[in-house]
Chains A and B, each alone.
Chain A
Amino acid sequence: MATVDLKDVRKVYPGGVEAVKGISIAIPDKALCVLVGPSGCGKSTLLRMIAGLETITSGECAFDGNVVNEIGPTDRDIAMVFQNYALYPHMTVYDNMAYGLRNRRTPKDEIDVRVKEAARILAIEPYLNRKPRQLSGGQRQRVAMGRAIVRKPQVFLFDEPLSNLDAKLRGQMRIEIKKLQQSLEVTSVYVTHDQVEAMTLGDILVVMNEGRAEQIDTPTAIYERPASVFVASFIGSPAMNLIEAKGAGAKGLEIANGQFIKPRNLAAPEANMEMLLGVRPEHLTVVEELNSDFIVEVAVVEALGADTLAHGQIVGGGPDIIVRLPGSRKVKPRERLPVAIQPAMAHLFDRKSGKRLD
């Protein structure tokens, strides 16, 4: 059990590529921190630096206040779950889990107790004598987690552990990882590119882009107040509608087709400033035409059951818009939906810097 503190951590590869450009995160004890971002954003590199598998070019990584920069992965007291499980193919499940303990000269009876306990927690007791190839993907994933649990490390590290599982299993394992982490109370860092995993698992969410942390906050705070266009479009599914707009003072915002929109929560925007208006599909409501902010002509309808997603355009050559409607609402292509932005649900970003304006 430990806090993990990263201070201005940078990674420059020998070729000169800067994979991580100075990131500081303070992860409290027992928290689960999720690093999320598109591929190539440096999230895995950051995790591997915490693991000690990559050297830290500059900055500091500290567990419980002790800088561990120079300590190898063996002695950092971490356990890692890899994307492809990385189970030893020639060893039984039992040996896979026991291997790390044996290398640390843990007494045999204790190894036995710990492995059996982990197997019980993860419900893999019947497979202890099997080889990894005789297991399904989900079971292998459990073994990989078991291997991490038995060590009782200070920090758990997960490197996209669920990306090789099918959608249903991924959902189950997600819940299990959350449960497990809560009951074991081990500080964890979890890397994923899946924003659903990121939202549901994290106590702290770090949205990364091109080696930088775009925003570090709780998942809800990030969803509610994305700090930049990148975060806004990355978190949330379907992605936030981003409408190019120009400040028009008291009239509100002028959009591409010359129409004006005046979201309720916003003060009069600076005139002629180039910005992006962001509204999540779920924050658009179909209203009477009189009260509407704009009208959407539907092009494609995705009926998902619980929700209906209407993809369309603002009438008069406006930008593309997605509206999320209740599943009960039936919409047809070509239908015109007068929609209003729910109060306090509009986000404004500077188009040049991509930063949030309010």
Chain B
Amino acid sequence: MAENAPPPADSGHDKLMIGQSATSIYIAHAILILGVIVVAFPIYYTFVASTHSLQTVLRPPLPLLPGPEFFNNYYEALFGGVGRIGGVPVSTLLLNTTIVALGIAIGKIIISILSAFAIVFFRFPLRMVFFWLIFITLMLPVEVRILPTYKVMVDLRMIDTYAGLIVPLIASATATLLFRQFFMTIPGELVEAARVDGAGPWRFFKDILLPLSRTNIAALFVILFIYGWTQYLWPLLVTNDNQMNTIIIAVRKMMSFADADTEWHLVMVTSIFAILPPVLVVVLMQRWFVRGLVDSEK
């Protein structure tokens, strides 16, 4: 289990525990280790499988230690001309998925922060009607409106385009609600101070609202990036061209190729690649928004 990092409660935490005794520490650790194994072992196993040749993977007792084919497999998956899934290398898949996930995350944040800004800080006719319209979309996720949305995409010739992959997933009531809740906690005095200071709506948004929303944006970005990254149903529908596949779709397609020829070692490599970016985003952004939470401003 070389990969299984020591459980997080290893160092300072148990000092804080109430009624600690040797046994309770052992039990706590046993449970934690068990949890880590349950979560991490399949991932580790995927990694191990991705470092062996197809023959080794297919021969029943799969080794528990990484094999010698790491560089070959990964090179082949990334840049390989191997005729899998229509000859699309993993690098293209990664690029596609990154564009889609970033597009969804950034697009959603922009749309929702602007709509929340409008709903909270402006008095316009039918304001509440618009708010409830946005709210109602919570009950209509992509899966529910999939046929009409597909029809719209076809009519707009957005099949097999990035726009077709991104746009239908952007409109988001959850993010709008989140920003709305946050904006409503901003004291009215702050808004008025800005008005007295000569800041118009746009400047208020840019100079005050946006910096104050930093931590919210970071948290939302993490969630939405993973949401976009793991989309399955919609990309499956809206892409026909293999060049436009996202990595999740590709993994699926690799497996359904034909039972015998499924190149499991490459499937595993692709899976590892599919997991890495979300993990990276979580790890990097977590540090960022924990810092944001610690020096909570307001």
Q: Which residues of A contact B196 (CB under 8 A)?
A: 51, 53, 73-74, 78-80, 100
In the complex, A53→B207 CA distance in Å?
20
Q: Which residues of A contact B198 (CB under 8 A)?
A: 74, 100, 103-104
Q: Which residues of A contact B192 (CB under 8 A)?
A: 48, 51, 53, 73, 80, 82, 86
Give the interface size bracket for A toward B.
Answer: 20 to 34
CB distance from B294 to the nearest CB of A (A): 12
B297 within 8 A of A: yes
Which residue of chain B has the shortest Cβ distance to A90 in the bound complex? B211
* In-complex Cβ contact of B195 among A74, A84, A85, A87 (8 A): A74
Cβ-defined contact, B199 with A84, below 8 A: no
* In-complex Cβ contact of A90 among B193, B200, B212 (8 A): B212
In the complex, A330→B6 CA distance in Å?
75
Cβ-defined contact, B195 with A73, below 8 A: yes
A83 within 8 A of B: yes
A333 within 8 A of B: no
B261 within 8 A of A: no
A72 within 8 A of B: yes
A171 within 8 A of B: no
Contact string against B for A residues 39-74, beta-carbon threshold 8 Å, 1 for contact and 0 otherwise: 000000000100101000000000000000000111
In the complex, A75→B298 CA distance in Å?
28
Q: Which residues of B contact A104 (CB under 8 A)?
A: 198
Which secondary structure characterizes the binding site on chain B? helix
A133 within 8 A of B: yes
Cβ-defined contact, B197 with A103, below 8 A: yes
Question: Which of the listed residues A51, A73, A83 has the most CB atoms from chain B within 10 Å of its own CB?
Answer: A73
B127 within 8 A of A: no
B187 within 8 A of A: yes
Q: Which residues of B contact A84 (CB under 8 A)?
A: 187, 189
CB distance from A219 to the nearest CB of B (A): 28
Question: Which of the listed residues B189, B203, B211, B212 has the most CB atoms from chain A within 10 Å of its own CB?
Answer: B189
* In-complex Cβ contact of B189 among A73, A82, A100 (8 A): A82
CB distance from B68 to the nearest CB of A (A): 53
Q: Which residues of A contact B190 (CB under 8 A)?
A: 86, 88
B208 within 8 A of A: yes
Which residue of chain A has the shortest Cβ distance to B210 in the bound complex? A90
How many B residues have CB within 8 A of the partner chain? 20
Contact string against A for B residues 177-204, beta-carbon threshold 8 Å, 1 for contact and 0 otherwise: 0000000000101101111111110010
Q: Which residues of B contact A80 (CB under 8 A)?
A: 192-193, 196
Cβ-defined contact, B208 with A88, below 8 A: yes
In the complex, A83→B188 CA distance in Å?
11
Cβ-defined contact, A89 with B197, below 8 A: no
A131 within 8 A of B: yes
CB distance from A142 to the nearest CB of B (A): 15
Which residue of chain A has the shortest Cβ distance to B214 in the bound complex? A90
Cβ-defined contact, A86 with B193, below 8 A: yes
In the complex, A86→B195 CA distance in Å?
12
In the complex, A171→B207 CA distance in Å?
35
Cβ-defined contact, B297 with A133, below 8 A: yes
In the complex, A133→B212 CA distance in Å?
14
Q: Which residues of A contact B199 (CB under 8 A)?
A: 74, 99, 103
In the complex, A147→B212 CA distance in Å?
20
Q: Which residues of B contact A82 (CB under 8 A)?
A: 189, 192-193
Contact string against A for B residues 42-80, beta-carbon threshold 8 Å, 1 for contact and 0 otherwise: 000000000000000000000000000000000000000
CB distance from B201 to the nearest CB of A (A): 11
In the complex, A99→B197 CA distance in Å?
7
Q: A100-B197, A104-B198 are in contact. Are A83 and B189 (CB under 8 A)?
A: yes
Which of chain B's residues 272-298 have a Cβ closer than 8 Å to chain A? 295, 297-298
Which residue of chain B has the shortest Cβ distance to A88 in the bound complex? B208
Cβ-defined contact, A86 with B187, below 8 A: yes
Question: Which of the listed residues B195, B203, B211, B298 has the most CB atoms from chain A within 10 Å of its own CB?
Answer: B195
Q: Which residues of B contact A131 (CB under 8 A)?
A: 297
Q: Which residues of B contact A100 (CB under 8 A)?
A: 196-198
In the complex, A84→B196 CA distance in Å?
15
In the complex, A72→B196 CA distance in Å?
9
Q: Which residues of A contact B194 (CB under 8 A)?
A: 88
Which residue of chain B has the shortest Cβ distance to A133 in the bound complex? B297
Cβ-defined contact, B193 with A89, below 8 A: no
In the complex, A271→B92 CA distance in Å?
103
CB distance from B218 to the nearest CB of A (A): 14
Which residue of chain A has the shortest Cβ distance to B195 in the bound complex? A73
Contact string against B for A residues 103-130, beta-carbon threshold 8 Å, 1 for contact and 0 otherwise: 1100000000000000000000000000
Q: Which residues of A contact B298 (CB under 8 A)?
A: 89
What are the 7 A-B residue pairs with the smallest beta carbon separation, nearest first?
Answer: A100-B197, A103-B198, A86-B189, A86-B193, A89-B297, A90-B211, A82-B189
- Which residue numbers of A lie inside 8 Å of B, CB to CB? 48, 51, 53, 72-74, 78-80, 82-90, 99-100, 103-104, 131, 133, 147
9 contacts between A and B (CB under 8 A): A51-B192, A73-B195, A74-B195, A79-B196, A82-B189, A82-B193, A85-B189, A88-B208, A103-B199
Extra A-B contacts (13), CB below 8 Å, given A84-B187, A88-B190: A53-B192, A53-B196, A72-B195, A80-B192, A85-B189, A87-B193, A88-B193, A89-B212, A100-B196, A100-B198, A103-B199, A104-B198, A131-B297
